[in-house]
Amino acid sequence: MVEDKNFPLGEIIREVRSRLEAIPAVGRKRGERALQDLERRADQIQRMVDLRRYLPPVLAERLSMEDTPTQVKRKNLTVFFSDIRGFSAMNEQMEPEEMVDMLNRYFQEMTQIIFRHGGTLSSFLGDGIMGFFGDPLDYPDHALRAIRMSLEMKSKLTDLSGQGFFHPLPIPIQIGVGINTGYVTLGYIGSENHRDYTIVGRNVNLASRLEEMAGPDQTFISQRTYSLVKDDVEVEELGELTLKGLHSQVLAYNVLSLK
């Protein structure tokens, strides 16, 4: 049942329920059945509203008609983080309103690429993006999808910068990307008023640390991700990296191109 007081259908349902109490018992049963149908439809609409934050509209509408699992679960996914390089310096060269407009255009373009490759958008983190592949739809090639996405992101940004899309920014936008594959904890996490469909766990942290190490226009991937895509990508081996917050060194690779 939709509980958000700001959700219009929720208000309608509460109004209908209050009026049902004044109806004689003879007609109340039929009204209650109609109310139950309305509540089910309201739940579907609310699920679609929630899912559209993370998924392409067509997929969100389809999944909203199905039972949405609410329990936290563990699942093998590919996680990615991306971040604009030199963002602080950009802030010094632009007015706040210009920066907000630029970020909105940037996120719009990147979100379309994420959705096109079948990814799930988890959240925007300042000028960064967090997402994953492999849920709610299972893809056997979720690791390769994440890498293809990152390469298209960088190519798209090069094209857009060359077209002056991010004017008045005087320098091209470049991003660093970190990708890791492994088991994560997945589910709706947050408060009663606001929840995100997101992931947590060591493998999420590893993807984040790889992104922090990546330079402009670089995609760093873990050994686990590389083992799944080695027949499809050209890489540069980086050796074992010491990553902040991780106790042991991590073997990583820089993705150069698709084979």
Radius of gyration of the chain (CA): 22
Average pLDDT over residues 10-37: 59
pLDDT-derived band at 202, boundaries 50, 70, 90:
very high
Angle at 126 between CA 122 and CA 130, to 5 degrees: 25
Nearest to 197 by CA among 6, 56, 4, 50: 50
Q: What is the CATH number of the domain that holds 244?
A: 3.30.70.1230
Residues above pLDDT 90, as percent of the chain: 48
Same domain, 53 and 86: no
Average pLDDT over residues 9-32: 58
Angle at 102 between CA 97 and CA 104, to 5 degrees: 95
Domain of residue 140: give its range. 73-258
Domain count, the chain: 2
Same domain, 153 and 57: no
Same domain, 59 and 88: no
What pLDDT, on the 0 to 100 scale, is given for residue 45?
Answer: 54
- The residue from 64, 86, 112 where one domain ends is 64
How many other β-carbons are positioned within 10 Å of the β-carbon of residue 117? Answer: 19
Lowest model confidence (mean pLDDT) among 25-29, 55-59, 114-118, 198-202: 25-29
What pLDDT, on the 0 to 100 scale, is given for residue 63?
Answer: 53
What pLDDT, on the 0 to 100 scale, is given for residue 28?
Answer: 53
Same domain, 116 and 212: yes
Same domain, 139 and 204: yes
Between residues 196 and 216, which one has the greater pLDDT?
Answer: 216
Give pLDDT tens digits for 58-116: 555 555 555 555 568 899 999 999 999 988 888 787 888 888 898 999 999 999 999 99
Residue 186 has pLDDT above 50, yes or no: yes
pLDDT-derived band at 57, boundaries 50, 70, 90:
low
Give a yes or no: residue 41 inside a domain: yes
pTM higher than the cut 0.85:
no
d(CA 54, CA 108) in angstroms, rounded, equals 13
Average pLDDT over residues 24-37: 60
**25-51 helix and 8-20 helix, angle to the nearest 10 degrees:** 170
Same domain, 225 and 125: yes
Same domain, 107 and 170: yes
What pLDDT, on the 0 to 100 scale, is given for residue 4?
Answer: 47
pLDDT-derived band at 39, boundaries 50, 70, 90:
low
What pLDDT, on the 0 to 100 scale, is given for residue 1?
Answer: 42
Residue 123 has pLDDT above 90, yes or no: no
Same domain, 15 and 107: no
What pLDDT, on the 0 to 100 scale, is given for residue 44?
Answer: 54
Between residues 122 and 178, which one has the greater pLDDT?
Answer: 178
What pLDDT, on the 0 to 100 scale, is given for residue 204?
Answer: 96
Same domain, 107 and 144: yes
Give pLDDT tens digits for 212-250: 999 999 999 999 999 999 999 999 999 999 898 888 899
Same domain, 95 and 15: no
